[in-house]
Amino acid sequence: MYTLSNKLRTFSFALIILGFIGVVYGFMSSHKSLDEVKTMLATEAAHHGGGSHEVAQATHEVDPHEGHGNAMSHGEDTHADAAHGETAHAEADAHEHHGDAHAEHVQHQLANRPWSALYVAAFFFMMISLGVLAFYAIQIAAQAGWSPVLFRVMEGITAYLLPGAIIVLLIAVASGTIGHYNLFVWMDPEVVADDKLIQGKSGWLNIGWFAVRGLVFIAGWSTYRYFSRKFSIAQDNADDNSNFKKNFRISAGFLVFFIYSESIMSWDWIMSVDPHWYSTLFGWYVFASMFVSGITVIALIAVYLKSKGYLELVNDSHIHDLAKFMFGISVFWTYLWFSQFMLIWYSNIPEEVTYFITRIEDYNLPFFGMVVLNFLFPLLILMNSDYKRVPWFVVMAGVVILFGHYIDIFNMIMPATVGDRWSVGIPEISSILLFAGLFIFVVFTALTKAPLHAKRNPLMKESEHFHY
């Protein structure tokens, strides 16, 4: 039986506390007055352009009487004088209104940042556990012979799914109820009233139906996880294989539910932050990201437990196979990324291509950097078969892959919520620490609840003697 060490427990609590403090600070510091935002914009304009013209535009200080005064000094006709003054007033009012609208938009983007950072981190760790659940179900449905020695690791990771998914849904709903529509613009009635496109989708995109769908997804995933875990543990002390067969049947059925629910969840929880844009590949694209992230975490935890004297039956061939999946699914993710990007870029339809223009112009480094992290790095590091057997190589590649796929989720959410006002600071780092600590505590606590060796699994002998 695995025992959670005091050091790991303290470490997870420290992450949670530090993360929570940082998240609270992020929310408190994100609320700026309109005057503060105007001053910030004026400073930025002066910094980037320098001249008084840019500062005047940023602060929107236009003298409406300037043209009128000049006309009087030249003794022009009083009727022309009045007309010129009215025009100057109208232009000044329009400029002032535009300036206020821009400042209010930036103010809203700044307020969105802590919500977005929290949501990105919450979704990232939730999707890891969901990806592991899918991988676990595939192993059982396929009756894979190599992986049973890792089943309890997978079951431990999936313990985070229920709390993690509930947190994601709560953040999403809260952003449109107690928040000021900080994530999903379609939750704002004023926006919907002026947007025909969103009005056409309002039968699907409304808070009530959104919450119901989310609860159905979470219930389905959690129900499968509960019964599959129950049958797996019951098999340890059974005299026959009836629990194994039950697990096989529900796993096959779950995979059908999963592929539908994961796709719809991707549309709801991620794609709908850009309600004018859609991609028919999006569900698969998100799946590839969660799948490779989940497999990577299985490998990292397996290496960690083995280094602590657990999982004695896990050998370098099991690590090699996990690394093969990390390599293969990284290539699959790249195929989907390129297919989605290339087809939309080549067709150049304005309603579609604006999604990538925003990311290339405002998120150039993270957008193309994640391709390096998620494709080139795994390709170069894990292509060699011998390297896949070296634990520290697998750990190094795994850390980079996880970082790359966090950036992937970051790129999906941030452009729609904070625009070009993004950065990596206290809100982002604190959110990662908060959910990393929670993830570690939940997963490793779950590992203490059952033996790490699923001894009565019919395929265990094959798994124990697996060599590639």
The percentage of the chain sitting over the pLDDT mark of 70, rounded to a whole number, equals 89
Cα radius of gyration rounded to whole Å, the chain = 27
Write the CA distances from 13 to 99, 254, 438, 444, 447, integer angstroms: 46, 34, 8, 13, 17
Tokens found for residue 391: 């634990």
The span from the CA of 467 to the CA of 30, in Å, is: 54
Quick check: 466 and 62 in contact, CB under 8 A? Answer: no
Number of domains in the chain: 1
Q: Which residues of the chain have pLDDT under 50?
A: 50-78, 80, 82-83, 88, 90-92, 94-95
pLDDT (0 to 100) of residue 428: 95
Write the CA distances from 126 to 102, 255, 406, integer angstroms: 35, 18, 12
Q: How many CB atoms lie within 10 A of CB 311?
A: 22
| Residue with the two structure tokens 């509930």 | 166
Quick check: 201 and 186 in contact, CB under 8 A? Answer: yes
Chain centroid to CA 335: how far? 20
| Residue with the two structure tokens 């935002």 | 37
| Residue with the two structure tokens 């939730």 | 126
Quick check: 310 and 452 in contact, CB under 8 A? Answer: yes
Residue 368 lies in a domain: yes
Q: For residue 230, give the amino acid letter.
A: K
Q: How many CB atoms lie within 10 A of CB 424?
A: 12
Name the residue among 83, 56, 53 with its Cα closest to residue 67.
83
Quick check: 146 and 462 in contact, CB under 8 A? Answer: yes
The span from the CA of 72 to the CA of 353, in Å, is: 52
The span from the CA of 178 to the CA of 188, in Å, is: 12
Residue 370 lies in a domain: yes
The span from the CA of 303 to the CA of 211, in Å, is: 38
pLDDT (0 to 100) of residue 205: 93
Residue 84 lies in a domain: no
Spatial neighbors of 191 by CB under 8 A, at least 6 apart, are 181, 185, 198
Residue 88 lies in a domain: no
Name the residue among 151, 131, 113 with its Cα closest to residue 423.
113
Residue 71 lies in a domain: no
Name the residue among 221, 293, 223 with its Cα closest to residue 258.
221
Domain extent, residue 392, equals 6-32+112-458
Residue 42 lies in a domain: no
Residue 43 lies in a domain: no
The span from the CA of 19 to the CA of 202, in Å, is: 36
Chain centroid to CA 225: how far? 22
Spatial neighbors of 324 by CB under 8 A, at least 6 apart, are 382, 388
3-state secondary structure of 468: coil
Residue 255 lies in a domain: yes
Tell me the backbone φ, ψ of residue 380, rounded to 5 degrees.
Answer: -75, -35
The span from the CA of 58 to the CA of 45, in Å, is: 6
Per 3-state DSSP, what percentage of the chain is helix, strand, and coil (rounded to 5)? 80, 0, 20
DSSP assignment of 82-102 equals HHHHHHHHHHHHHHHHHHHHH
pLDDT (0 to 100) of residue 59: 41
Q: How many CB atoms lie within 10 A of CB 24?
A: 12
